[in-house]
């Protein structure tokens, strides 16, 4: 069963917190050897924030990007440059679990 984007954001944040090795950067998904794979590949086991949303919800790349961009400009760069904890916070904000930071 696929999740809504909001449910997926919460589930992916939970996954990244519970199992840090499931987070990645520089690509949507990786296999156990660190090689790039498609998010719907059965051997995918590590995801960036967008890849995790795509895998959990079945949404498109643009759909996941736009969902996260509502709370964080340039979400791909944020995931890749700020790291796992920043990706978790971004996902939690997108899920409506924490308030958006005001700058």
Question: Which positions ≥6 away from 84 have C-beta within 8 Å?
Answer: 16, 20, 23
Query: pTM here?
Result: 0.91
Containing H/E element for 46?
Answer: strand 46-47
The total of other beta-carbon atoms located within 10 Å of residue 41's CB is 13
pLDDT in tens, 3-33: 999 999 999 999 999 999 999 999 999 999 9
Confidence of residue 103 (pLDDT cuts 50, 70, 90): very low
Domain boundaries, the chain: 5-94
pLDDT in tens, 31-49: 999 999 999 999 999 999 9
Cβ–Cβ under 8 Å, residues 90 and 75 = yes
Whether residue 90 is predicted with pLDDT greater than 80 in this model: the reply is yes
Confidence of residue 78 (pLDDT cuts 50, 70, 90): very high
Whether residue 96 is predicted with pLDDT greater than 50 in this model: the reply is yes
């Amino acid at each position: 069963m696929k999740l809504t984007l909001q449910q997926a954001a919460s589930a992916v944040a939970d996954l990244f917190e519970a199992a840090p090795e499931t987070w990645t950067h520089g690509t949507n998904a990786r296999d156990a050897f660190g090689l790039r794979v498609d998010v719907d590949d059965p051997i995918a086991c590590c995801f960036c924030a967008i890849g995790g949303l795509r895998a959990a919800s079945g949404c498109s790349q643009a759909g996941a990007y736009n969902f996260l961009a509502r709370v964080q400009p340039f979400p791909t760069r944020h995931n890749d440059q700020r790291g796992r904890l920043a990706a978790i916070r971004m996902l939690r904000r997108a899920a409506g679990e924490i308030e958006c930071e005001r700058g």
